[in-house]
Structure 1
Amino acid sequence: MLQLFLLFLSFSLAVEALHAFMQDESEHKHYLIVSAVTNLLVNLLGVWFFRNYARVNIVYRNAEDMNYHSVCLHVLADSIRSAGLILASWFLSLGIENAEVLCLGIVSVAVFMLVLPLFKATGNILLQIAPSNVPPSAFTKCSRQIAACEDVSEVWQGRFWELVPGQAVGSLSIRVKSGADDRAVLEYTHGLYQDLGIQDLTVQTDEFVGPVS
């Protein structure tokens, strides 16, 4: 995934900065600067193309939003790297010592901060974390409302997460009383969770059997 690549890029830049500091390497060849300027101009064109996603934090309404945001952040990170190389060359021409180390360090931190929100968002999806736009108290309230129904004896194993950005799913187990109409319970349950934004809900119903005397 692009966000993992960008995280590794920030770490590699930090290592490169440390290496440059230890080796005291400060030579920038002319063709590298020309390449950096050309790369920066091309990347700025890409940023303009994906300008609607050129933000660090963005609300993902669907999976395509996350994909486009990943591409945009990749282009931005490459632009920052090229700009860092140009800035380091300018600082060196002014006689500033350790300019390469300083610029690489700044670029490393900037790329890391740039990709961190996207990395957290994808991590929450992979770890099946509960949807961030729904407070936990709302799920608790829905469970209590279902349990308060006349035909329901128990509600348990509620599990809710984001399958893809903008699409929350869940599963729930309900134990209905013997002889109760579980269809009405299912309709009521789906209605409650759809109001919270849970578009796809799997409900398992079991019939409660009382103790045999």
Structure 2
Amino acid sequence: MNAHTTFRRAAVFGASGGIGGALAGTLADRGVDVWAGSRSGFCRDKRMRGFAFDLADEASIAAMAAELAATPPDLVIVASGVLTLDDGKGPERSFKQIDADAMEAAFRLNTIGPALIAKHFLPLLPRRDRAVFAALSARVGSISDNRLGGWHSYRASKAALNMLLKNFAIELGRTHEQAVVAGLHPGTVDTGLSEPFQSNLPDGQLTAPNAAAANLLKVLDGLTPRDSGSVFDWKGDEVPA
């Protein structure tokens, strides 16, 4: 499969972030027609078309879906998410630190927001041709691979996202035989999300955004409908449920 001709049109949600921006830029480098979504809607790269959306505002997502209905994407990437909230609350180290409002915010951004994007964009995917809906997940969302505990809201929100992706894959597969729905674990990428947790990383474990984007797109290029509903890491290995 030629990675440079796999997709024609892509919508990237979270294109102002480190990974999302790198994904959008790499796709544009390949000649893909890219819509780059962010909260502001501003996009410096003239090769792309920026659009505004808010994960907590379904109307903004629905409006963009309506705008793209005539020329729908065959690749949708949800590259948004949160580990540390805007108020500085980070992952809980103990169940004693669980805060209802913080947990609700994590689920709103990591689980419910991507689900709303799926609600409005999965119906746009071509029925007869290959199409991919992908969302950034995390290995810590794996229940069977959980050895350390902690990070309750983040882990739970990503585990819930993984379940939704499985559900969406089953439902979409009934009408879109060539479609793939997948979660992606990018590894530890040098972005604002991971910055507070980089100090103790082993040498070589931190990946630059552009390298992470290339890794993830290589994974997407190789996925088939048989893979739909699973989560894959940046090497293409399936992450346990």
Tell me the TM-score normalized by structure 1. 0.26
Which structure's CA Rg is the greater one?
1
Tell me the TM-score normalized by structure 2. 0.24
Structure with more helix by fraction? 1
